[in-house]
Structure 1
Amino acid sequence: MDRSRPVEVVATDGSPAAARALGERLVAAVAGHGPAILPTGPDDPPPPAVLTSPVPPGVAAVVTTSGSTGTPKAVRLSGTALSASATSTAARLGGEGRWLLALPAHHVAGIQVLLRSARAGAPAAVMDLREGFRPDAFAAAVAEAYPPVSRLSLVPTQLRRLLDDAGPGLDALRRFDAVLIGGAAAEAALLARARTAGVRVVTTYGMSETCGGCVYDGVPLDRVTVEIVDPDATGAGRIVLGGATVAEGYQGPADPAFLPGRRFATSDLGRLGDDGRLQVLGRADDVIVTGGEKVPPAVVEQALLDVPGVREACVVGVPDPEWGARVVAVVAGADLDPEEVRGQVAPRLGRAAPRAVRVLDAVPLRGIGKPDRAAVRAMWLAPREY
């Protein structure tokens, strides 16, 4: 007897109505009722047939992700894993709470907000994102939410906009008991600025394959494990996450990233600090090898962000006939001189320092706020000047 479960595509358009409808179907799917759901966003093309093929009976959601190669994949998330993630999050944050959804509902972080709030007994309040994320609209969504909201997930770009606005949106942000920051690396200066402003930020690390964030402020959630495999002399190696929140795999052929013992080999490098907390150093495939030295872009970006006036930074490698690759960077900020910026980080970074720096109005982003390294690399390779 075939016990496989059909997959239903649930379209979202950024509206509260669409997000609420997705939340209802998601809750039912996690409870084992009806089909598994595959949420899509307003600009997504119709998913190919392989992504909507039937799934094993325990799978509740199929979430698409670009992965490390940019090739779309679809992650099978079981109801058990999603429930474990929601339960562990509540335990880490000191109990249940009502959430505000200010992220795209079809991303893994969005469906987690919908699930966590439903498990707490009140559907999530939903911000209308059809015209994008604006501080004034965020403030209005918080003010209109009833029952009141106390939990929130944001990406660093949204946090920066609210801090820069310094108006009602920031006042609303201060009301939350916990503001989870994930989806992309959040620089230390941004987090410090938020905490100084009275925002209770919690950094998260994870991906669709782990039901979203599963390491909070460097510490894994309950029933989650962190390993560093093949570490180098500095203790840096590939991050492997394991435990109750790991997905069932991808739609399609088995993938070697899913390891025995319910573990997932990420594409990220990290190390465990002296305090045992995970330090994420960036993607393994972003590492720049220049003159035989391995340079993680995240290390260089953090140094650039420590320069006064630098608001954003993105570091890439471009071909070099002598060094194999050379480190270059783009930064965004007020009244910046590229040579002065480079001069301030060169003594600290040595051979890892960028050979050249360009100043932009804003660093290109992709998805929900990650630096678009491909676009930055194209800038440097193009024959024209930027």
Structure 2
Amino acid sequence: MRVVWLDGSAAAIAALDEAVAAALDGGEAVLPLNAADPSAQSLLEAMSPEQAIEPDTAVVIATSGSTGAPKGVLLSPHALTASATATHARLGGPGHWLLATPAHYIGGLQVLIRARLAGTKPAFLTGEGFRTDAFAVAAAPVLAEAGPRYTALVPTQLVRLLDDGGAGLAAAKAFDGIVLGAAATSPKLRARAHEAGVRIVPAYGMSETASGCVYDGLPLDGVRVEPDASERLWIAGDVLAHGYRLSPELTAESFRDGWFRTSDRGRLLPDGRVEVLGRADDVINTGGVKVSAAAVERVLGGCPGVRDACVVGLPDPEWGEAVVALVVAGQADPDGLRAAVRAELGAAATPKRVEFTAELPLRGPGKIDRTAVRHHLAAT
């Protein structure tokens, strides 16, 4: 297995691009790692690159996930190319791509694969952090090309583009499609993008599905999504990974008869769209009533002045768990936020406490670090 260390430079991304291209053609499997990640060394050790790789593996995506336990998702050439091909079919055909998210995550890696299959040369947004002016500069060579121009972002990046305006927003508006993944797209953010003229395509997926597999609520061609009796979502299709690195028990638990058991709850709407309701472990049992943290977050996110919100359950001697919210807002009244939740979701879902912060802690490409939020709220 070939380990490729990514340090934010264009040279490192180009090396990964070439390594993945060789792996898709049957060459050595690739393990991309972030050189700046403090946990990268432990991920490397857990992936044991000196041991033989599982058959039919082109890429291993290593992550600590929400549990903190390292795991490596095994992706075949077929799964990776099936995802890229289905994405192009849904967006409007092969095109030119800007890589604007970290390439050691599946969303960024797929940008490289899509460009490779399209026969186009991707542009890279390099450096640490996300700056809207740098986004505009990196986007320029892609936007100068004829034919479809695409990029992939996470919601926090889109919020910054909308907030800052200027050259960054102008560049975003010029793309024919922006795949928005890694975290849920709130109705407010969707409305802001539409009003600004930014063409976004909210995507749902994960490393185990070779990136987004549901675009704007509709599964990609060849993908099936079904909830079980407990509303747990199961996914099938050519885009699926074939297991976890050196973890046969976890593989057997998660992959069954051609289906992958996700950690998310959801349902199918009458028009065939998939509605993701949140993670199965984000349900809060308060006073014997089960409350969806995602539902409370949606209500809070729709309130004036609120930019983002994370809701968790904290141990409570009276209620078992108390609904508590950490909110990013310019100006917002805690009592008004609680009243909005009560009006839409009822008393049980109303946060017992609302606290404010300048920004929510993140892990991975734009995902909220709920463990860090829980520790912060417990400490305060």
TM-score range, shorter chain: over 0.9
| Other-structure match for 2:170 | 171
Aligned partners of 1:179, 1:189: CA distance in 2, in Å? 17
| Other-structure match for 1:381 | 378
Q: How does 1:232-247 map to 2 (within 5 A)?
A: 237-247=231-241
Determine whether 1:363 maps to 2:356.
no
TM-score for both structures, normalised by structure 1 = 0.93
Question: What is the number of residues matched between the two proteins?
Answer: 370
| Displacement of 1:49 | 5.6
| Root-mean-square deviation (Å) | 1.5
Q: How does 1:217-228 map to 2 (within 5 A)?
A: 217-228=216-227
Tell me, yes or no, if the aligned pair for 2:326 and 2:377 is still in contact at 8 Å. no
| Other-structure match for 1:3 | none
Tell me, yes or no, if the aligned pair for 1:257 and 1:264 is still in contact at 8 Å. no
> Structure 1: which 5+ residue stretches go unaligned?
1-6, 232-236
Q: How does 1:58-69 map to 2 (within 5 A)?
A: 58-69=56-67
Tell me, yes or no, if the aligned pair for 1:218 and 1:278 is still in contact at 8 Å. yes
Aligned partners of 2:355, 2:54: CA distance in 1, in Å? 50
Q: How does 1:1-386 map to 2 (within 5 A)?
A: 7-33=1-27, 35-44=28-37, 45-46=40-41, 47-48=44-45, 50-52=47-49, 53-128=51-126, 130-145=127-142, 148=145, 150-231=149-230, 237-254=231-248, 255=250, 256-350=252-346, 351-382=348-379, 385=380
Aligned partners of 1:178, 1:238: CA distance in 2, in Å? 30
> Structure 2: which 5+ residue stretches go unaligned?
none
Tell me, yes or no, if the aligned pair for 2:47 and 2:72 is still in contact at 8 Å. no
Q: Match of 1:275, as an amino acid?
A: D
Q: Match of 1:119, as an amino acid?
A: L
Tell me, yes or no, if the aligned pair for 1:182 and 1:205 is still in contact at 8 Å. yes
Aligned partners of 2:360, 2:335: CA distance in 1, in Å? 18
| Displacement of 1:147 | 5.9
Tell me, yes or no, if the aligned pair for 1:180 and 1:202 is still in contact at 8 Å. yes
Q: Match of 1:74, as an amino acid?
A: G
Aligned partners of 1:277, 1:109: CA distance in 2, in Å? 22
Task: Give the 4+ runs in structure 1 shifted more than 6 A.
Answer: none
Q: Match of 2:119, as an amino acid?
A: G
Aligned partners of 2:151, 2:141: CA distance in 1, in Å? 15
Aligned partners of 2:114, 2:316: CA distance in 1, in Å? 49
Aligned partners of 1:51, 1:210: CA distance in 2, in Å? 23
Identity of aligned residues (%): 51
Bigger drift between 253-262 and 271-280 goes to: 253-262
| Displacement of 1:68 | 3.9
| Other-structure match for 1:234 | none
Q: Match of 1:139, as an amino acid?
A: A
| Displacement of 1:50 | 4.0
Tell me, yes or no, if the aligned pair for 1:65 and 1:208 is still in contact at 8 Å. no
